[in-house]
Chain A
Amino acid sequence: MTEPILTTSALTRDYGGTGLLGVDLVVPTGAIYGLVGLNGAGKTTLLALLTGLRRPDSGTISLRISRRRLAYCPDVSEFDPWLTAREVVDLALSLTDSRQPEERADHIDAALADAGLTGSVSRRVGGFSRGMTARLGLACALASDPDLLILDEPAAALDPVGRAELLTQVAAMRGHRTVLFSSHILGDVQRIADQVGILRAGRLLYQGSTQELIDTYLTPAWLVRIAGDASGFLAAATGADWVTAVRSAPGDGAVRIEATSMAAGERGIPALVAACGLRLAAMEPAGADLESAFLALTTGVAGAAA
């Protein structure tokens, strides 16, 4: 990563205690940056400030590129219903691109194809579904080949297939385009974002590597599955000095083991299973995901999701 493409300093937009309060955002160039937070955390306010739709009460925004190299796709895209999909993308491109219409044409077709709208280029957008309109919004944003793409809840209107395709498409931008996106779907953020920012009540609680966040809030706990009867293992684990808690996970027969440290658990669990003469069917970290880290960070309860 080189110099950040976007930074903010003490960015504040105060709606009487809510809004955005002193946010120092750093978006590295070429990163896929996921912005997560509960409803009302300030995600949309932050994106509106970054795109110039609202003005901050105080603080600064530093953009290393021209504003014309930034494209924003809102959570709900709306277009004049009597325009065709091609005309909408052409209009979007005409506002940011000085090339002649005939020179823009190939870019328009390519953007519509990338958005999966090849068969609907000449259809009026008034007949589009929510998902198709969302795809059209993305086509408008991508047509200008922006250096910084800002997406507000990009997958909200898409079906599961469309969502998966969008995530693949965004992940493929890593390195040659910076993407800043907000999402409620933490699994999506974990899947494609290498950087994450967590907002709560207008404040940025965490900002940095997604993996580091998960590692920081990773609790030394595992779900262990034993081939056969696990009662002997349960008894042995209860007496082990490196084990801090043992309980049967409800429903699926797994045993949840919490250890004094990651190393103690990773060494001790297989050894204990072997000592009991049992076979280890599976052993997976509990709460090793962004959702657990998010909940731990925003609620203060470690391993809340596990």
Chain B
Amino acid sequence: MTTATRPASGEHTRQAAVRGPARGMNLWRLEWLRLTRTPRAIALLAIFLFIGLIEPVITRYQQDLIGRLSHGVRISVPPPTPADGLNSYVAEISVIGLVLVVAIAAAALCFDTRPGMATFLRTRVVSMRQLVLPRFAVSAAAAVAAYLLGTLGTWYETGVLIGSLPVAGLLGGMLCGAVYETFAVAVTALAAALARSIVGTIGVALAILIALPIAGTLHVIADWLPSALVNAPVSLVNGTAHLSHFGPALAVSIATSVALLAAATARLRARQI
């Protein structure tokens, strides 16, 4: 600490010149920097894109790969369809991608993990929504962007190796997938309000997200659950379902996401440090 007098205005002008154009901090920019100054954004985009590009290749050469590993036993698989390429991507993303999205969202939303950090933020914000909304929105946007990038990679690779995917079905599938990714981040927000640690938050969020497909085995509610959106892209490109079939799941997912965010905000507001 010094008791130095504040710099004169000329000094400030020089400092401003060194600083460059003013680019003020706020809670939205904080979240953008959290993604871009750490490996989070690169990891998210790279892993989704890698899976998007590699899964159609595996699907295309599945027969050859099985043949090399079967030690002379002849195993015959039907020739892959374009929907199979997308199906492989969706299957991988619904596990690896989901864990990654939940982990990255949890790291942003668990601002109470470190008391000093929690104090810094909580003693300055006017409302808890001010803290939760940017963390949710930027994490969800990153998850959706990564999902769409991976899907575009699959679209391209499938078109090159197997055959073209129907555009309308694929776009409908991308919409369903994007809504599901957003829902997963909203679930993570609630989990962060229930558990203080990042690991605990990831555990709670994944438990909820894994429980949904299990609940979906009850046919009465299956079409209404957000988990119905996971495989929607495949159903839409192979023509077994129309986008309107997923209307209930889309509506429930969006409404539930809003409700989850409201519940998370209320619970975080009630939490004491």
List residues of chain A with CB under 8 Å of any chain B CB: 48, 51-55, 71-72, 74, 76-80, 82-83, 86-87, 90-92, 94-96, 100-102, 104-106, 109-110, 113-116, 135, 137-138, 140, 158, 162, 165-166, 168-169, 172
Contact = CB atoms under 8 A, between A and B. Distances in A.
A74 B115 contact: yes
Interface of B: 1-4, 6-7, 12, 15-16, 19, 22-27, 30, 33-34, 37-38, 114-125, 272-273
User: Among the interface residues A104, A109, A115, which one has the most CB atoms of the partner chain B within 10 A?
Assistant: A109
Contact of A101 (B1, B23, B38, B117): B23
A172 B24 CA distance: 30
A169 B4 CA distance: 10
B116 A78 contact: yes
Does more than half of chain A's interface fall in helix, strand or loop, or is it mixed? helix
Contacts of A95: 27, 121, 124-125
B235 to A, nearest CB: 41
Enumerate the 9 nearest inter-chain pairs by beta-carbon distance, A residue then B residue, closest first. Answer: A101-B24, A78-B116, A165-B1, A95-B124, A102-B22, A90-B25, A91-B25, A82-B37, A101-B22
Given A90-B25, A109-B15, A110-B7, 6 more contacts: A51-B119, A53-B119, A53-B273, A55-B272, A72-B123, A168-B1
Nearest to A49: B272
B38 A82 contact: yes
A109 B7 contact: yes
A164 to B, nearest CB: 9
A105 B16 contact: yes
Contacts of A115: 1-2
Nearest to A107: B6
A55 B122 CA distance: 13
A22 to B, nearest CB: 20
Given A91-B26, A101-B23, A52 B123 contact: yes
